[in-house]
A and B are shown apart, each in its own frame.
Chain A
Amino acid sequence: MEKKKFERPVIKKVQIGMPSKFGLKSEYAPIKEIDGVPVKDLIQQYGSPLYVFSEKTIRETYAEAYKAFSTRYPKVQFAWSYKTNYLNAICKVFHREGSWAEVVSGFEYEKALKNGVPGNQIIFNGPYKTKEDLVTAIKNHSYIHIDHYDEYYMLIDIAEELQLRPQVAVRVNMDTGIYPQWSRFGFNYENGEAWDIVQRILISNKMDLVGLHCHIGTYIMVPWAYSTAMNKLIDLFLGIEKKFNKHLQYIDIGGGFASKNTLKGAYLPGTDTCPTFDQYADSITSTLINSSINIEHLPTLILETGRGLIDDAGYLLGTVHATKRLPDGKNSYITDIGVNLLFTSFWYDYKITPAQEFGPYTEESVVYGPLCMNIDVLREYVQLPPMKKGDHFVISRIGAYNNTQWMQFIMYRPNVVLIDTDKKTHIIRKKENYETFAIQEQIPEHLK
């Protein structure tokens, strides 16, 4: 006779009255496979923890976003936000789909070039560009988005020195009616600073002003904020046309689209509250189309969406290392995924789903990582089916910012695998070992 599947015996008190802060049960079915590849096999072959990316999901999400914009506006260009995820294989999928590169440092710029992106398809953003970075970008005809006056003057000096004309855009910050207002990057619209720098660029005639750029924030839940931003950029655009008779090539509306993850403290899950690409596209493109810009001179619309394009494609697979009863009776799990591997768990309540069959019963649990640090908590309160030592689980929607903000801390970082559209798996970043770090260190002679 086949033996029954064992679930850890659990008992919980029925609480009547105020809802529990652990929330409601959210897991109804296990995630046993990703794109048809069994989770168990992935862990067996590549180890646990393991990052897994679905090329199929990346391409489908990109297609959905591109369609939302290109069906509403004639000139659309996406630029892949390197800081969101700069694993080369991931970047290359986006470039194959037609994305340019949007970089914010010399390191990212170098990566984009090595990934085969032509210089004139690289947008160079950010507040910290060194002279060396700018020289390279100018020589490669990349688009430099000016962040502050010192950068502007540095560009003038380089332009005179090299006798080259940098291709530049102005980054504009503004009040779009949302909180927080990002004011540290670029030039302010409301106080006239943005118009001032535009005039300086055009009057000095040392560089080519080709576009306007803004990036109003991150995880923007209200599409109308983009409409407000676009109206302000259009005002500058029309002002330039009127005063200088110059038609800019593009308006870059930046990124900041929300993904379906749930922010900590949110009442409703992100899957219910996150706007669709169509809603964002409608808000942005209708403002452009309905503006006074002459139809002959409509600028290219550039989008630097990062999170919205990659979050859904990433998974982090883990294993329960131990279960532990806390002094107050709460169940807790010690897992092999620490906050150093899932940096974004500081602001998201991640969905954690067992990778094997489970019953209808759930228990209030805390999910810890393996680090000997009190802050290593993946979920403070979550209703989960009982799991036991050795069970696997899947954390979904982790594609954005984790493989760039991860830290090597206490433990080595694990393998990252890509499942291609033919369901074949490829390591796209090897797990670290002692040598990875030993090679960077040096011991002074007297300590040898």
Chain B
Amino acid sequence: MKLKQKLAISDSGFIFDPTTGESFSINQEGLTILQLLKEGKTEEEIKKIFLNEYDVDETVLDRSILDFISMLKNYNLIENGE
């Protein structure tokens, strides 16, 4: 899964999509996922990182990431064809 290439991600959680002019706000967990996706990490790798760093069980994490990615798709923040 690839994020849109030109997506601007600020460290404070502000996202700007220059292709549409739309802006987004995001919480810390969402920001971490976006940064990891930008680094090219896979969904599985992201899950491992979260399980190491956060107090969360695997089912809740799976469910949360699934929902988050559906929102990224909903906002067209994923490269076409992904």
Residues of A within 8 A of B (CB): 3-14, 323, 325, 329, 359, 361, 386, 388-390
Choose among B25, B65, B75 the residue that contacts A9 (Cβ–Cβ < 8 A).
B65
Tell me which of B23, B24, B25, B75 has the highest count of chain A C-beta atoms within 10 A of its own C-beta.
Answer: B25
Task: Return chain A residues, CB-CB under 8 Å to B77.
Answer: 11
Whether A388 pairs with B55 at a CB distance below 8 angstroms is no
Question: CB-CB < 8 A to B68: which residues of A?
Answer: 8-11
Q: Which residues of B (9-31) have their CB < 8 Å from a CB of A?
A: 13, 15, 22-30
C-alpha spacing A104/B27, complex, angstroms? 52
Q: Is the interface of B mostly helix, strand, loop or mixed?
A: helix
Give Cα A3–Cα B55 distance, bound, in whole angstroms.
Answer: 5
Q: Please name the residue on chain B nearest to A361 by beta carbon.
A: B27
Tell whether A325 pairs with B24 under 8 Å between CB atoms, given A3-B53, A6-B60, A388-B60.
Answer: no
CB <8 Å contact, A6 and B56: yes
Query: Which residues in B have their C-beta under 8 angstroms from that of A11?
Result: 15, 24-26, 30, 68, 71-72, 75, 77
Task: Tell me if B24 and A12 are in contact (CB < 8 A).
Answer: yes
Complex Cα–Cα for A359 and B26 (A):
11
A235 to B33, CA, bound (A): 73
Write 8 A-B pairs (CB below 8 A) sorted by A numbering.
Answer: A6-B54, A6-B55, A6-B64, A10-B29, A10-B68, A14-B24, A323-B63, A388-B63
- Residues of B with C-beta under 8 A to A7: 27-29
B74 within 8 A of A: yes
B60 to chain A, nearest CB (A): 6
> A9 contacts B53, CB within 8 Å?
no
Asked if A8 and B67 make an inter-chain contact with CB atoms under 8 angstroms apart, the answer reads yes
In the bound complex, how far is the Cα of B71 from the Cα of A249, in angstroms? 68
Could you mark each residue 71-82 of chain B with 1 if its beta carbon is under 8 Å from any beta carbon of chain A, else 0? Answer: 110110100000
Q: How far is the CA of A305 from the CA of B25 in the complex (A)?
A: 46
Please judge, given known A-B contacts A3-B55, A4-B54, whether A323 and B25 are in contact too, CB under 8 Å: no
Measured between C-beta atoms, what is the minimum distance from A255 to chain B in Å? Answer: 44
Given A6-B55, A7-B28, A14-B23, A325 and B33 contact (CB-CB distance below 8 Å):
no
**Closest chain B residue to A13, Cβ basis:** B24
- Please, which residues of chain B bring their CB within 8 A of the CB of A12? 24-26
Chain A residues closer than 8 Å to B26, beta-carbon distance: 9-12, 361
Do B64 and A9 touch across chains, with their CB atoms under 8 A apart?
yes
Decide yes or no: A359 and B24 within 8 Å by CB, A5-B54, A329-B74, A388-B64 being known contacts: no
Q: Are A9 and B33 in contact (CB under 8 A)?
A: yes
**Nearest-neighbor residue (CB-CB) of B59 within chain A:** A389
Question: Are the CB atoms of B27 and A386 closer together than 8 Å?
Answer: yes
Q: Is the beta-carbon distance between A389 and B67 smaller than 8 angstroms?
A: no
User: Are A13 and B67 in contact, with the CB atoms below 8 A?
Assistant: no
Q: In the assembly, what is the distance between CA of A5 and CA of B25, in Å?
A: 20
Top 6 nearest A-B pairs by Cβ distance?
A361-B27, A9-B30, A6-B56, A9-B29, A3-B55, A6-B54
> B13 — which chain A residues lie within 8 A by C-beta?
361
Give the residues in chain B near A389, CB-CB below 8 Å: 60, 63
Give min CB distance, A446 to chain B, whole Å. 50
- The answer for the CA separation of A4 and B56 in the assembled complex, in Å, is 9
Chain A min CB distance to B69 (Å): 9
Given that A9-B65, A11-B75 are contacting pairs, would A325 and B54 also be in contact in the complex, using a CB cutoff of 8 Å? no
Task: Determine the chain A residues whose CB is within 8 A of the CB of B33 once the complex forms.
Answer: 9
Give the chain B neighbours of A329 by CB distance below 8 A. 71, 74-75
Q: Which residue of B lies closest to A327 (CB)?
A: B74
